[in-house]
Amino acid sequence: MNPNILQSPIAYLKGVGPNRAETLKSELGIETCQDLLHLFPNRYIDKTQYYKITQLQRSSADVQIIGKIINIRTVEQKKGKRLVAKFTDGQGEMELVWFRGQKWIRENLIINVPYVIFGKTNWFNGTFSMPHPDMELLEDHKKGLKIGMQPVYPSTEKLSNKGITNRVVGKLIQQLFIETKGRFSETLSPKILTELNLLPKNEALFNIHFPKNQELLAKAQFRLKFEELFYIQLQLIVKNMLHKQRIKGYSFNKVGLLFNEFYKNHLPFDLTNAQKRVIKEIRADLGSNAQMNRLLQGDVGSGKTIVALMTMLLAIDNGFQACLMAPTEILANQHYTGIKELLNDIGVNIALLTGSVKKRDRKIIHDQLESGELHILIGTHALLEDKVQYKNLGLAIIDEQHRFGVAQRAKLWHKNDIPPHILVMTATPIPRTLAMSLYGDLDISTIDELPPGRKPIKTVHRYDSNRLKVFKFIRDEIKKGRQIYVVYPLIQESEALDYKDLMDGYESIVRDFPMPEYQISIVHGKMKPADKDYEMDRFVRGETQIMVATTVIEVGVNVPNASVMIIESAERFGLSQLHQLRGRVGRGADQSFCILMTSHKLSSDSKTRLETMVRTTDGFEIAEVDLKLRGPGDLMGTQQSGVLNLKIADLIKDNEILKTARYYALTLLKEDSLLEHHPAIRHTYAQIVKHKNIWNYIS
């Protein structure tokens, strides 16, 4: 056999041909024999047992029986006909029934010859029947591979319509094992196989497709899951190591005047230990001669902006410029206002560049950037425009990174001959399993404590029937001088419904909180930007006590005096959205509250989300629950919906295997960075990189 058969096109495998090859490619992405070998079953049907008709139970279960057909007849029914065969195993009788394909089936059935039948049984009118059974002549059944657990492969409607059934796929995989004699190169080192007690590659592949029993199937699955995750981790870690070796970065050796002056005299509060640790990690990167490529994650309100600001001061102290890119104008404006205020007395030149900036002002910004007069530029996608040229950009900070594509980030790289250091920030905590896979090539820093003096937000779940008590609570809080958010869900598909919900809610609040005693702001997507800003501004200045809004306030509103967040129809929000909204309160020294209002009708997922919110304010714990509920694709949003294109492993269920795989990949590369002493791994790694780059796994 040609050793390269696995790389050869699937059309050349006996039983496939050009038409089937085209269908397999379009429906399942199978182009080579290797792709077919790695089409792993979704589930298995236990075919280790043969039943007697007299043993059958009146439950609809899959059973396998050996027997003969003794007669066939066609039965008229209200619509069309059905074909019925009487089947006996010598001890009892049952019926086999077909509603489709009767002509072909009738011509091909043989009477009084032993068959093995398999399918679900029904009990009707005192008789067992099996509709559309799988049938095989006993003689052929004995010749085939002895399969105890029958694999069920992924399928589509088109595959079924073209006659590529589960049985056909199974036969093609059998054919592949015959042509390769079941011999496949080992892809892991003897040390890993021994330490983890893994099945050899040949045995694992055989037992994933044709398992003799449950135990061998479990061993095969573990071995193949480990291998898949091991090679993904290997690629990510190698990418990170090469990045550090090849991509030189500016060296920021100096901790200069600006950094020290700010730290000693202008820092508004003491840094937490977590912030100090993260700044230390960043400083080590900046002084290492390699380009920094770091992800900074921290919960809402954990103080990421101060860390970003101090990193920018390090860049300026070393003679470089810095930029900060945010996904929305509101957020860019807020960063600009906050940072400008903190740097007022230090003599740092800072500017804001968004789509709203007038042409005349843009020209000034462009000129000052190129001359080096401007130290820090904050803005939106506008920072990526070709016209924006820096004198010497040394640091680029990207906020809420998941909202920017890889191509957009790459544009910042090419603003200089040497790429700037990159710090990516996110307030959406990423579960460890996802971070290890999606951002395995980035170094990760985590701020996992809130600044002192912040009281944890108290969260409760209330039903609509408790509304009067909730309104009384709002009145009491307003008497204390506090402000309140009332947020309604915004679901794009039903703008009319959202608007109606919001207006109904607004009217009921106006009735219960009449003027002039109470002032209420309203903000929603249909308003003109100027009106929205006016209403937001009134609330920020404390002129209105209640802000009724859709989720436009999710990002970028900071009102320390607002201490109550009421989320209406909370069951219609995702967990991360609920967590982000709750983070809008709790910014002052007072005790803050978050009240989740729902109807009594709740799905089990909704209940889990609400219970999680009431139980914890830890963003990382919330992210783990969210990952379990929604899966990796949804969690990262549309931009990374494929997240991990895995063949057999599952990020959520197999996170322990993932941790083991990452540990072994790291250990191996520390001992043997060029894989010189691990020929099997080096060869496999080269093949994977050649045929399927890491970014095919990770969108």
pLDDT in tens, 112-135: 999 999 988 998 888 999 999 989
Cβ(546)–Cβ(520) below 8 Å: yes
308 has pLDDT over 90: yes
225 has pLDDT over 90: yes
pLDDT in tens, 610-640: 999 999 988 878 888 887 787 655 444 433 3
The better pLDDT of the pair 618, 433 is held by 618
296 has pLDDT over 60: yes
> Which listed CATH number (1.10.10.10, 3.40.50.300, 1.10.3720.10, 3.40.47.10) goes with 257-286+302-426?
3.40.50.300
Looking at residue 255, the DSSP 8-state letter turns out to be -
pLDDT in tens, 171-218: 999 999 999 988 899 999 999 999 999 999 999 999 999 988 888 999
Question: Mean pLDDT across the stretch 37-59?
Answer: 86
Measured CA to CA, the distance from residue 486 to residue 472 in angstroms comes to: 14
Beta bridge partners of residue 501, listed in sequence order? none
- pLDDT category, 401, cuts 50, 70, 90? low
Return phi, psi of residue 224, to 5°.
Answer: -75, -35
Q: What is the total residue count of the chain?
A: 699
- pLDDT category, 456, cuts 50, 70, 90? confident
Cβ(388)–Cβ(353) below 8 Å: yes
The better pLDDT of the pair 295, 309 is held by 309
Cβ(520)–Cβ(545) below 8 Å: yes
| Prediction pTM value | 0.66
The CATH number assigned to the domain with range 458-616 reads 3.40.50.300
The sign of the CA dihedral 139, 145, 151, 152 is negative
The CATH number assigned to the domain with range 1-47+147-179 reads 1.10.150
The least confident of 245-249, 386-390, 550-554, 557-561 is: 550-554
298 has pLDDT over 50: yes
Q: How far is CA 634 from CA 401, 575, 599, 611, 624, in A?
A: 16, 12, 25, 21, 13
Question: Mean pLDDT across the stretch 293-318?
Answer: 89
Is the bond preceding 516 in cis, omega lying within 30 degrees of 0? yes
pLDDT recorded at residue 408:
61
> Which listed CATH number (2.40.40.20, 3.40.640.10, 3.40.50.2300, 2.40.50.140) goes with 60-138?
2.40.50.140
pLDDT recorded at residue 520:
92
556 has pLDDT over 70: no
- pLDDT category, 438, cuts 50, 70, 90? low
Neighbours of 357 (CB within 10 A): 17
499 has pLDDT over 80: no
pLDDT recorded at residue 640:
37
pLDDT recorded at residue 146:
62
- pLDDT category, 411, cuts 50, 70, 90? low
Q: CB under 8 Å to 698, separation ≥6 — which residues?
A: 232, 437, 438, 640, 642, 643, 644, 645
Question: What whole-number percentage of the chain has pLDDT above 70?
Answer: 89
Question: Mean pLDDT across the stretch 272-296?
Answer: 91
pLDDT recorded at residue 498:
59
Question: Mean pLDDT across the stretch 147-171?
Answer: 85
Measured CA to CA, the distance from residue 252 to residue 170 in angstroms comes to: 60
Helix 273-286 vs helix 304-317: crossing angle, to nearest 10: 30
Measured CA to CA, the distance from residue 641 to residue 427 in angstroms comes to: 19
pLDDT recorded at residue 695:
47
- pLDDT category, 493, cuts 50, 70, 90? very low
- Listed in order, the ranges of the chain carrying CATH 2.40.50.140 are 60-138
The sign of the CA dihedral 662, 664, 669, 670 is positive
For all residues of the chain together, what is the average pLDDT? 85
pLDDT recorded at residue 681:
94
Chain position carrying tokens 């090849």: 246
463 has pLDDT over 90: yes
458 has pLDDT over 50: yes
The least confident of 218-232, 293-307, 491-505 is: 491-505
- Listed in order, the ranges of the chain carrying CATH 3.40.50.300 are 257-286+302-426, 458-616
pLDDT recorded at residue 638:
34
Query: Among residues 444, 343, 448, which one has the least CA distance to residue 401?
Result: 444
The least confident of 344-348, 370-374, 377-381 is: 344-348
pLDDT recorded at residue 699:
34
- pLDDT category, 513, cuts 50, 70, 90? very high
- Listed in order, the ranges of the chain carrying CATH 1.10.150 are 1-47+147-179
- pLDDT category, 530, cuts 50, 70, 90? confident
pLDDT recorded at residue 339:
92
Q: CB under 8 Å to 235, separation ≥6 — which residues?
A: 685, 688, 689, 693, 694
- pLDDT category, 364, cuts 50, 70, 90? very high
Q: What is the dihedral of CA 584, 587, 591, 595, to 10 degrees?
A: 0
Beta bridge partners of residue 62, listed in sequence order? 120
Query: Among residues 632, 633, 639, 622, which one has the least CA distance to residue 653?
Result: 632
Question: Mean pLDDT across the stretch 508-535?
Answer: 86
Question: Mean pLDDT across the stretch 585-614?
Answer: 90
pLDDT recorded at residue 382:
85
pLDDT recorded at residue 490:
67
The least confident of 9-23, 220-234, 269-283, 545-559 is: 545-559
